Amino acid sequence: MSRPISESRSETAFGDFKLPLAPGEAVAEAERCLFCHDAPCIAACPTAIDIPQFIRKIATGNLHGSARTIFESNILGMSCARVCPVEVLCVGDCVYNHLDQPPIAIGRLQRHATDEAFAQGWTYFSAGPDSGRRVALIGGGPASLAAAHRLRRCGHACTIFEARPSLGGLNTTGVAPYKMRADRAADEIDWVLAIGGIEVRTGVRVGEAVSLSDLERDFDAVFVGVGLGADSPLGIPGEDLENVCGATAWIEQMKIGRVDLAGVERAVVVGGGNTAIDCVREALGLGIPRVIMAYRGDRARMSGYAHEWDAALAEGALAEWRAIPIAYEGSGRVRKVRCIRLDEARRPIAGSEFELEADLVLVAIGQSKLAAMLAGLEGIQVEGGRVAVDAEGFAGRTKWYAGGDCVNGGKEVVNAVAEGDRAAKAIDAMLRGAAKGSPHA
């Protein structure tokens, strides 16, 4: 597939924040695992990887089997090992947290096994016998990739429609480069597609070149994994000034191309979520000396993870709490952000205006929702911009399933994989019999 990833892209300035384990280190860490019964780490993993089992296999030198255990539950296990917020998932629930010993470094162990699988070129899965059924997948991010891979194992033909020039979604263009760089994500996509039988149609926007009714007519099932849309603006004066950027757009540019930081000495990041913290750490890592996060709430209320903000602080981040921009100022290019303080109820406090000098503003207050594109399909509910689905990812209309950010509103890669996988299993059940959503029921 095409790889529009520049060799001289800005993200290559970053090394790994969490270093890979050396082989002996991995075995020593694996030996520490207690092999818990009904392990809490598995319950904490959205894809329910059998973590104690894959760790035990590392301890015995069975890396091939270890990686198989991971991929069996999570086909994007290589990137999830790097990008998962393990501190609030598997590692956060390791029983060692209740003892006076550090929790098992599950993410780094998973990386150890899956990196070896990639380095050795191990493959585990082949397509099932051709079922004669065809599934369309709208969007080419982690949810659709996971769904397509599972569907191919079941023998169903897949076609992914991706509006952008390449697959991968935010896993390629949005992950903080000190966790994973874009080329690694692209390698993984090639590895997933190697199962064969997944037709990829990039540059095709469903609703334009192909209509929803075309898909419904031509395919036996449709999986919607469109993710989220463009960065949301605050809607304040000065948003058209140069260097006022939407966060995910800027991150994408940094990851697959170059961002021009000439003359940028001060950056302001607007928001308090994980994308905002990523921007702060990325701006600092690219050498911007002074980076301030302006957030409308206080630290206790920010949606960004505490461990991420702690890392940002250690790297030199500054913060303005309970502050919100009311205007960007400058001539041609942004120079200042005018802000106002908010009270406990997030109401502006009269007379509390202040200015932050800024040569770059990154706005990370959320992304637009794309689910509205489905609004015309009877039976599909869109609630708060999200596609409503049942526990199996069925969207309420015959043939239609959904998963990933367009369903969960914007979570982790691992959530998208889990939702894509569960929908694929439901689609397979439907295509094989008279299950829910079946046109043959």
Partner 1 sequence: MPDLSTDTGGIRSPNPFWLASAPPTNSGGQVQRAFEAGWGGVVWKTLGTPIRNVSSRFGGHVIGGVRGAGFNNIELITDRPLEANYREIAETKRLFPDRAMVVSLMFETREEWREHIARSIDAGADGLELNFGCPHGMCERGMGSAVGQEPAVNERITSWAVEFSTVPVLVKLTPNVSDIVPHGLAARRGGAHGVSLINTIKSLIGVDIDRFVPEPRVGGASTNGGYCGAAVKPIALHMVAALAREPEFGLPISGIGGVTNWRDAVEFILLGSSSVQVCTEVMLRGFDIVEDMIDGLDEYMRTHGFARISEMVGKAVPNFREWGELDLNYETVAKIDADKCIGCQVCVAACHDGAHQCIHPQEGTRVPRVDETECVGCNLCKIVCPVEDCISMAPVEHGVAPASWNEFVADPETHPLRPKKGSHG
Does 59 help bind partner 1 (rule: CB under 8 A)?
A: yes
431-440: long-range contacts (C-beta < 8 A, 24 or more apart)? 431/131, 431/133, 431/154, 431/156, 431/220, 431/221, 432/131, 436/390, 436/392, 436/394, 437/221, 437/394, 437/397, 437/398, 437/399, 437/400, 437/401, 438/398, 439/220, 439/398, 439/399
Give the tokens for residue 243. 């260097």
Question: In the set 7, 37, 378, 384, which binds partner 1 (CB under 8 A)?
Answer: 37
Neighbours of 34 (CB within 10 A): 13
Does 48 help bind partner 1 (rule: CB under 8 A)?
A: no
Does 390 help bind partner 1 (rule: CB under 8 A)?
A: no
The nearer residue to partner 1, 28 or 306, going by C-beta atoms, is 28
Residue type (1 letter), 56: R
CB of 38 to partner 1, least distance (A): 6
The nearer residue to partner 1, 36 or 241, going by C-beta atoms, is 36
DSSP element (H, E) containing 106: helix 106-120
Question: In the set 4, 40, 197, 330, which binds partner 1 (CB under 8 A)?
Answer: 40
The nearer residue to partner 1, 52 or 142, going by C-beta atoms, is 52
CB of 116 to partner 1, least distance (A): 18
Does 38 help bind partner 1 (rule: CB under 8 A)?
A: yes
The nearer residue to partner 1, 30 or 418, going by C-beta atoms, is 30
Give the tokens for residue 127. 């397509």
Does 429 help bind partner 1 (rule: CB under 8 A)?
A: no
Is 146 in contact with 189 (CB distance < 8 Å)? no
* Among the residue ranges 6-14, 32-40, 230-238, 378-386, the one whose residues contact partner 1 (CB under 8 A): 32-40
CA-based R_g, the chain, Å: 22
List 246's β-bridge partners, or say none: 363
Number of residues that bind partner 1 (CB under 8 A): 15
The nearer residue to partner 1, 37 or 217, going by C-beta atoms, is 37
Neighbours of 171 (CB within 10 A): 27
DSSP string of 208-245? TTB-HHHHHHH-SEEEE---EEEEPP---TTTTSBTEE
Does 95 help bind partner 1 (rule: CB under 8 A)?
A: yes
* Among the residue ranges 26-34, 177-185, 236-244, 276-284, the one whose residues contact partner 1 (CB under 8 A): 26-34
Question: In the set 13, 19, 99, 209, which binds partner 1 (CB under 8 A)?
Answer: 99
Does 388 help bind partner 1 (rule: CB under 8 A)?
A: no
Does 27 help bind partner 1 (rule: CB under 8 A)?
A: yes
Does 36 help bind partner 1 (rule: CB under 8 A)?
A: yes
Q: Per 3-state DSSP, what percentage of the chain is helix, strand, and coil (rounded to 5)?
A: 40, 20, 45
Give the Cα separation of 305 and 320 in Å (integer). Answer: 17
Site residues for partner 1, window 312-341 (CB under 8 A)?
none
The nearer residue to partner 1, 31 or 260, going by C-beta atoms, is 31
**Which positions lie near partner 1, rule CB under 8 A?**
27-28, 31, 34-40, 59, 95-96, 98-99
